[in-house]
């Protein structure tokens, strides 16, 4: 109802603005030629696409209807005005420095029979302190007030169209850049990253060779009757210790590489960039085994270092729920939630102050008709101890760029929870926050797949 009321209000505002503009145009009393100039400009601005063509249109229309010379100056990258096109010159291949007589202006300026009109790029009605260019009109005699008023309106329309052209041009450049970047990422990041798996396999083989060497040394020690030799035992212990350390490091690196590879693959898919949105690649998976457990293992050491106790739920130990999800993207949902837990989990008093608790807990629960009649869901929870969010923070915590007032000195961008919401929603789910006893629960709900044969 609120959204409908807002739309109705906007509708009425636009209707009133149309009435005002209708009366304005009556008051302007533009000549037929002046009206034709505006119509010609709008038609040609849509017909031709490139910036160079637009610059030519801007300076050539007026001389076809009036005895004037037009020149268009725009601010260059160096912060100085440059002549980009003129009706009395050959087409310019590259911009030229503006003459000393042409300066950046913020209001219409007369110089004899010349009129300098500032060009303000950007949102109409926005701040108009410094112009982004100058439109110069040179006439054989003094320009009348009526013509000056018309030229002001023409320049305003030129500025609005130019703003759109520049934005479109910049967007095309960005699209081309992103397209090239995706190719570079695929060639220089993803493919070389796959080679690490080959190296890990070779390292695994070397560790196995060391295991065999350790067994051979033990056998030689016994065969040579040196079972009680202390020096020999020290060497054997050192080999065993080295073997175990290498094995531990190998497993740790392999886990981190697996997690990083999953994120790289899911974030840098070509489909994301081609379509301009996150594109799912779903498969059936058991969320606890394939998503939550690996992420908990990935964060295990960091939770220990921060004194955060991970409390495992009893009801998920024999998890049998199979969901159709994008494993890579959903893993990043948990990575974001666990990363926030590292930053914001606090120690709280429990049992009337007799004990203290600094913990993260996770779980899930079935929600009947979660997404409408007959559409059940699974609610996944990530709880952390600490002070509750304020109602104001809670209402917008999943918005892009939002950071709670409790962040203190913790670094962050306010993007993590917005990303969580985006991923969950493209899965057809929903997200939320709720204050609970001893802390805060962040949750998301995913729809259960329909049983075979369901309509």
pLDDT tens digits, residue range 316-343?
655 577 899 999 999 999 999 999 999 9
Cα 233–Cα 236–Cα 238 angle in degrees, nearest 5: 110
Sheet containing 114-119: give its strands across: 96-97, 81-86, 69-75, 133-138, 114-119, 109-111
Query: For residue 126, what pLDDT band results from cuts at 50, 70 and 90?
Result: very low
Q: Please name the residue that has the structure tokens 């007026």.
A: 62
Q: On the CB side of 243, how many CA atoms lie within 13 Å of its CA?
A: 16
Domain count, the chain: 3
Q: Are residues 247 and 365 in the same domain?
A: no
- Whether residue 454 lies inside any domain: the answer is no
β-strand partners of 81: 75
pLDDT at 340: 93
Q: Are residues 100 and 221 in the same domain?
A: no
pLDDT at 129: 60
Question: Which CATH number does the domain housing residue 153 bear?
Answer: 3.30.450.40
Return the structure tokens found at 133: 């260019």
304: containing domain: 280-447
Q: Please name the residue that has the structure tokens 């030689």.
A: 220
β-strand partners of 377: 367, 447
Q: Are residues 227 and 294 in the same domain?
A: no
Q: Is the pLDDT of residue 346 over 90?
A: yes
- Whether residue 91 lies inside any domain: the answer is yes
Between 344 and 184, where is the model more confident?
Answer: 344
Q: Are residues 230 and 307 in the same domain?
A: no
Q: Which of 273, 289, 316 is the last residue of a domain?
A: 273
- Whether residue 101 lies inside any domain: the answer is yes
Q: How far apart are alpha carbons 390 and 370 in whole angstroms? A: 26
Q: Which of 243, 273, 303 is the last residue of a domain?
A: 273
Q: Are residues 69 and 130 in the same domain?
A: yes
Distance, CA of 351 to chain centre? 43
pLDDT at 276: 79
Cβ contacts of 51 within 8 Å, gap of 6 or more? 165, 166, 169
pLDDT at 240: 86
Return the structure tokens found at 419: 């990303």
Q: How far apart are alpha carbons 175 and 371 in whole angstroms? A: 37
Q: How far apart are alpha carbons 201 and 373 in whole angstroms? A: 50
pLDDT at 455: 46
| Helix%, strand%, coil% for the chain, nearest 5 | 55, 20, 30
Question: Which CATH number does the domain housing residue 318 bear?
Answer: 3.30.565.10
Terminal C-alpha separation, the chain: 32
Sheet containing 309-311: give its strands across: 309-311, 359-367, 377-385, 439-447, 430-436
Most confident option among 198-202, 256-260, 340-344:
340-344
Q: Are residues 41 and 83 in the same domain?
A: yes
| 385 contacts 439 by C-beta, under 8 angstroms | yes
pTM above 0.75, yes or no: no
Q: Are residues 304 and 287 in the same domain?
A: yes
Q: How much is the average pLDDT of 165-175?
A: 84
């Amino acid at each position: 109802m609120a959204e409908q009321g807002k739309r109705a209000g906007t509708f009425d505002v636009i209707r009133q603005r149309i009435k005002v503009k209708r009366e304005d145009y009556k008051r302007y009393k533009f000549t037929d030629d002046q009206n034709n100039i505006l119509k010609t400009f709008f038609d040609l601005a849509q017909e031709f696409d490139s910036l160079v063509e637009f610059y030519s249109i801007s300076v050539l229309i007026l001389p076809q209807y009036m005895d004037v010379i037009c020149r268009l100056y725009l601010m260059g990258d160096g912060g100085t005005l440059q002549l980009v096109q003129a009706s009395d010159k050959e087409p310019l291949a590259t911009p030229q420095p503006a003459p000393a007589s042409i300066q950046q202006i913020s209001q219409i300026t007369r110089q004899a029979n010349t009129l300098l009109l500032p060009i303000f790029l950007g949102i109409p009605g926005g701040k108009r302190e410094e112009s982004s260019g100058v439109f110069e009109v040179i006439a054989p005699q003094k320009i009348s007030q009526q013509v000056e008023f018309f030229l002001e309106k023409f320049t305003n329309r030129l500025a609005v169209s130019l703003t759109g052209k520049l934005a479109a041009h910049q967007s095309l450049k960005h699209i081309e850049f992103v397209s090239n970047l995706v190719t570079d990422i695929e060639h220089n990041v993803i493919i070389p990253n796959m080679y690490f798996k080959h190296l890990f396999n070779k390292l695994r083989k070397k560790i196995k060779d060391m295991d065999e060497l350790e067994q051979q040394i033990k056998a030689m020690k016994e065969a040579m009757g040196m079972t009680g030799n202390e020096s020999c035992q020290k060497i054997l212990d050192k080999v065993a210790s080295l073997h175990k350390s290498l094995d531990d490091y190998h497993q740790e690196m392999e886990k981190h590489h697996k997690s990083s590879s999953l994120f790289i693959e899911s974030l840098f898919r070509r489909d994301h960039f081609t379509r301009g949105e996150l594109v799912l690649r779903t498969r059936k998976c058991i969320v606890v085994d394939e998503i939550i457990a690996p992420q908990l293992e990935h964060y295990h050491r960091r939770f220990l270092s921060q004194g955060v106790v991970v409390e495992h739920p009893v009801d998920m130990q024999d998890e049998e729920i199979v969901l159709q999800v994008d494993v890579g993207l959903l893993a990043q949902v948990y990575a974001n939630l666990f990363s926030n837990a590292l930053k914001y989990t606090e120690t709280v008093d429990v049992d009337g102050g007799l004990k203290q608790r600094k913990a993260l807990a996770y779980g899930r629960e079935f929600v009947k008709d979660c997404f409408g009649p007959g559409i059940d869901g699974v609610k996944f929870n990530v709880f952390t101890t600490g002070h509750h969010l304020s109602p104001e923070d809670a209402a917008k915590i999943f918005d892009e760029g939002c950071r709670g007032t409790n962040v203190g000195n913790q670094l962050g961008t306010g993007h993590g929870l917005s990303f969580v919401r985006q991923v969950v929603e493209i899965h057809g789910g929903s997200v939320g926050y709720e204050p609970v006893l001893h802390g805060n629960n962040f949750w998301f709900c995913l729809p259960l797949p329909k049983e075979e044969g369901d309509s």
